[in-house]
C-alpha cells in the first residue's frame, strides 16, 4: 500500500480513507454485487465474463475463455500491450490485466508462461506519482501492471526460476521492483516458500538499500 506522507494533501488523505472504507464494505457483499462494483469480477476461467474488456478480447480472437491455452495467453500478453498495460490513470487496462492475471494463476500449465512473464516484469515500469482517486489508490496498492505480473511470477513453482528473478534484481540493484516482489510474495501467501531464498540473497546483496529490504522481509515472516 502506498505510504502517505505527513505533508500530503487533505484531499488525498480523504480518498485513502474512502478506499479503506470501500474495500472493507465490498469484502462483505455477495460476489455478484462485488462484480458490479469493481471491474473484473470473478476471473476464473470457467466464469470469465464475456462482456469485460478481456472477455471481448478473447472472443474477438475466436477463442473460448474456458479452453484458453498457455499459447493463447502468451499471444494475448505479447500482442495486446495497448489493451493491458497502462499507467495509474488507466484503470480499464489495469482491470483487464488483473482479470488475465487471475486466469494465469489458476492455469494448470502456468509454469510454461514463466519466461514471458519474467520478460514483462523486466520491461514494465514501476508506477510513479501520487494517486488522486480510489481507482488510482487501488492500482498503486497492487503495484500497477508490474505488480499484477509479479503476482503470476510468485505462484510459479521452481527454485531455479525464483533464483533467476532474485539474481536479476540484485545484479541490477533494482530496489523498487524488489520491493514489489517482496510485497506480492506476502500478498499471495508465499512468505514461507521464499524465506530460505530471501535469507541467502540478503547475504549476497551488495547495496545497503537492497540488504535493508530483504532484512525487512525476513522480519515480517
Determine what percent of the chain is predicted with pLDDT higher than 70. 77
Q: Return the C-alpha cell found at 39.
A: 471491474
Mean pLDDT computed over every residue of the chain: 83
What digits encode the pLDDT tens for the residues 196-216? 999 999 999 999 999 999 999
What digits encode the pLDDT tens for the residues 56-103? 888 888 887 777 899 999 999 999 999 999 999 999 999 999 999 999
Q: What pLDDT was estimated at residue 67?
A: 78
Instruction: List Cα–Cα distances, 73 to 57, 106, 149, in angstroms.
Output: 11, 12, 13
Statement: residue 55 has pLDDT above 50: yes
Q: Return the C-alpha cell found at 131.
A: 494517486
Q: What pLDDT was estimated at residue 4?
A: 45
Return the closest-CA partner of residue 142 out of 80, 193, 197, 186: 186
Give mean pLDDT, residues 44-49.
57
In the chain, where the domains are located:
9-120+130-142, 157-221
Give this prediction's pTM.
0.79
Return the closest-CA partner of residue 43 out of 119, 137, 89, 107: 107
Q: Where are the alpha helices (DSSP H) in the chain?
A: 10-26, 31-37, 53-60, 70-79, 81-84, 91-106, 114-123, 134-141, 144-154, 159-172, 175-187, 191-204, 208-220
Least confident of 22-31, 97-106, 132-141: 22-31
Amino acid at each position: 500500500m502506498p505510504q502517505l506522507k505527513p505533508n500530503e494533501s487533505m484531499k488525498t488523505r480523504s480518498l485513502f480513507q474512502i478506499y479503506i472504507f470501500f474495500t472493507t464494505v465490498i469484502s462483505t457483499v455477495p460476489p455478484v454485487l462485488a462484480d458490479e462494483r469493481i471491474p473484473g469480477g470473478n476471473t476464473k476461467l470457467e466464469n470469465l465474463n464475456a462482456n469485460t474488456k478481456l472477455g471481448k478480447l478473447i472472443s474477438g480472437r475466436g477463442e473460448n475463455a474456458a479452453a484458453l491455452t498457455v499459447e493463447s495467453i502468451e499471444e494475448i500478453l505479447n500482442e495486446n500491450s495497448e489493451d493491458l498495460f497502462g499507467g495509474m490513470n488507466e484503470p480499464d487496462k489495469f482491470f483487464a490485466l488483473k482479470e488475465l492475471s487471475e486466469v494465469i494463476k489458476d492455469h494448470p500449465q502456468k509454469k510454461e508462461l514463466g519466461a514471458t512473464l519474467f520478460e514483462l516484469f523486466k520491461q514494465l515500469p514501476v508506477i510513479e506519482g501520487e494517486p488522486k482517486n480510489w481507482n488510482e489508490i487501488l492500482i498503486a496498492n497492487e503495484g500497477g501492471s508490474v505488480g499484477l505480473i509479479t503476482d503470476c511470477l510468485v505462484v510459479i513453482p521452481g527454485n531455479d526460476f525464483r533464483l533467476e528473478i532474485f539474481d536479476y534484481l540484485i545484479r541490477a540493484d533494482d530496489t523498487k521492483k524488489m520491493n514489489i516482489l517482496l510485497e506480492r510474495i506476502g500478498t499471495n501467501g508465499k512468505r514461507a516458500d521464499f524465506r530460505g531464498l530471501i535469507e541467502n540473497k540478503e547475504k549476497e546483496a551488495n547495496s545497503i538499500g537492497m540488504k535493508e529490504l530483504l532484512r525487512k522481509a525476513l522480519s515480517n515472516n
